[in-house]
Copies of this chain bind each other. A is one copy, B any other.
């Protein structure tokens, strides 16, 4: 009582400790219950978490206000940890190996959805900037969801799966650079070729400088930490590194999550990576659902009933599916089932949601446009698992689904 009362009295409008506990209880229970239910019906848990957010959010139960400062900050910590985790699982050398086919699929999978999404948005009367955000949100494949579904089907080692995974990883990197560009545009910079080039250069430049300097500094630093410090210290310092590079990225004019992702890339080849990932995934199980639930909570379900929102949503879903499915055929020399690759590229997920969230927070997207984009992410996430299952039946030798790692975070967290 007393402790809570004191805290509550500290500032008008401030969140008290019991209020924060209530919000965290609501968010975590809703996320876990709907996440587990989603898995029961063969869907990724992240879909359940988004629906959980819609239910506890402003337009249904009104329990969680995604604008609450503390919850918003915890959600941002969640997305920083999520992108750090994606980086920790991204092996740059692996991308080089899967090579041409993945690159072709990834390139087509960025260009086609962006062009189609932008075109359809302009045709439906959206402005220049909302159309760019919508197109950008269509580009990024969810590597977490795709990897998890392929693993559940016991198909992770098939050539189609390798191409999908390689392309999804490239997509993620390109998506992050697009995010940097779009974040700059959304912040009010002119939509000029020079401006785009400058932001692209800043995004690429930041990653390159950090990767070059970091490769020299980070592995010896963490080797020393592992020798001198406790295991928990190494994992905590890895999170600190992610926060630090995210902070630098922000200061350098790039995006926080690009910094977090780059920190993951730097640590991925170190001998400490597995130990670090174990600790980071645990933190992620707490913080990441806060992000997905607040994204869901920002959706106004009443806006789905509006004809224009429904039209934009359906149009975006159509081009999202068509764009990625067509991209599956980009590696024309590949002899396997191209339809499988196309379907495997369909689920959007975390990066798509980040674009939508960015657009909404910056005031570039209306609530209706934001809701239409969220609907697109939800439907594409929902469509891919049953379609993949139909095209690419489960093998007898079923691999155990990954319980930790990025698949664990994005689909089970």
A358 and B28 in contact, given A17-B256, A20-B73, A67-B10 (Cβ under 8 angstroms): no
Residues of B within 8 A of A118 (CB): none
Stretch of A181-189, A207-215, A333-341, A344-352 with 4 or more beta carbons under 8 angstroms from chain B: A181-189
Q: Are A21 and B246 in contact (CB under 8 A)?
A: yes
Say yes or no: is A201 at the interface (Cβ < 8 Å to chain B): no
A17 and B76 in contact, given A229-B36, A256-B3 (Cβ under 8 angstroms): yes
Stretch of A87-95, A247-255, A302-310, A312-320 with 4 or more beta carbons under 8 angstroms from chain B: A247-255
Q: Are B362 and A239 in contact (CB under 8 A)?
A: no
Q: Are A243 and B21 in contact (CB under 8 A)?
A: yes
Residues of B within 8 A of A29 (CB): 237, 240
Q: Are B183 and A1 in contact (CB under 8 A)?
A: yes
Q: Are A70 and B67 in contact (CB under 8 A)?
A: no
Scan A231-250; emit 1 where CB is below 8 A from any B CB, else 0. 11101110110011011001
Q: Which residues of chain A (379-413) have a CB below 8 Å from chain B?
A: 403, 408, 412-413
Stretch of A54-62, A160-168, A279-287, A369-377 with 4 or more beta carbons under 8 angstroms from chain B: A279-287
Determine the distance from Cα of A255 to Cα of B7 in the docked complex, in whole angstroms: 13
In whole Å, how far is A188's beta carbon from the nearest beta carbon of chain B? 9
Residues of B within 8 A of A247 (CB): 18, 21-22, 25
Residues of B within 8 A of A70 (CB): 69-70, 73
Say yes or no: is A11 at the interface (Cβ < 8 Å to chain B): yes
Residues of B within 8 A of A243 (CB): 21, 24-25
Q: Which residues of chain A (114-166) have a CB below 8 Å from chain B?
A: none
Contact of A2 among B11, B24, B183, B229 (CB under 8 A): B183
Say yes or no: is A77 at the interface (Cβ < 8 Å to chain B): yes
In whole Å, how far is A403's beta carbon from the nearest beta carbon of chain B? 7
- Copies of this chain assembled into the complex: 2
Q: Are B28 and A256 in contact (CB under 8 A)?
A: no
Say yes or no: is A97 at the interface (Cβ < 8 Å to chain B): no
Scan A63-78; emit 1 where CB is below 8 A from any B CB, else 0. 0000101101100110
A1 and B32 in contact, given A70-B70, A230-B412 (Cβ under 8 angstroms): no
Determine the distance from Cα of A279 to Cα of B283 in the docked complex, in whole angstroms: 9
Determine the distance from Cα of A25 to Cα of B243 in the docked complex, in whole angstroms: 7
Q: Are A28 and B231 in contact (CB under 8 A)?
A: no
Say yes or no: is A4 at the interface (Cβ < 8 Å to chain B): yes
In whole Å, how far is A71's beta carbon from the nearest beta carbon of chain B? 10
Say yes or no: is A96 at the interface (Cβ < 8 Å to chain B): no
In order of increasing CB-CB distance, the 10 nearest A-B pairs are A2-B187, A282-B282, A2-B183, A21-B243, A17-B76, A6-B361, A21-B247, A232-B285, A18-B250, A4-B250
- Selected A-B contacts with CB under 8 Å, 5 pairs: A3-B250, A6-B362, A17-B73, A36-B229, A232-B408
